[in-house]
Amino acid sequence: MTEFDRRNTAPPPDGNPDNLRPHLALSVRDALVLTLTTTTGVAAGGLAHLAGQGAAAAVIMGTSAAGAAVLLFDKVIGK
């Protein structure tokens, strides 16, 4: 195992260095919230564009929907 691998792994719960676990950058909950937020923003922006809004307006609407979705999904999905 290289030095880089040792620095980027969390210590094992039993203290045995042979049982190193990889360190996750995001928890599963955070990844789910970000995925749902992105999906919501893209869907809202796409629907706004299909409804006849210009590209700039659709991007603003999608971004606004994603911002609201972060707050919603953060509250709804348990910690």
78: pLDDT confidence band, cut at 50, 70 and 90?
confident
Residue 70 CA to residue 12 CA, distance in Å, equals 32
For residue 16, the model assigns a pLDDT of 64
For tokens 């880089």, the residue is 4
Q: Which residues contact 65 (CB under 8 A, 6 or more apart)?
A: 40, 41, 43, 44, 45
Model pLDDT for residues 6-54, shown as the tens digit of each residue: 565 666 566 666 656 666 788 899 999 999 999 999 999 999 999 999 9
For residue 13, the model assigns a pLDDT of 62
Q: Is residue 58 scored above 80 in pLDDT?
A: yes
Residue range of the domain that includes 10: 3-76
Taking the model in full, what pTM does it have? 0.69
Number of structural domains the chain divides into: 1
Q: Is residue 4 scored above 60 in pLDDT?
A: no
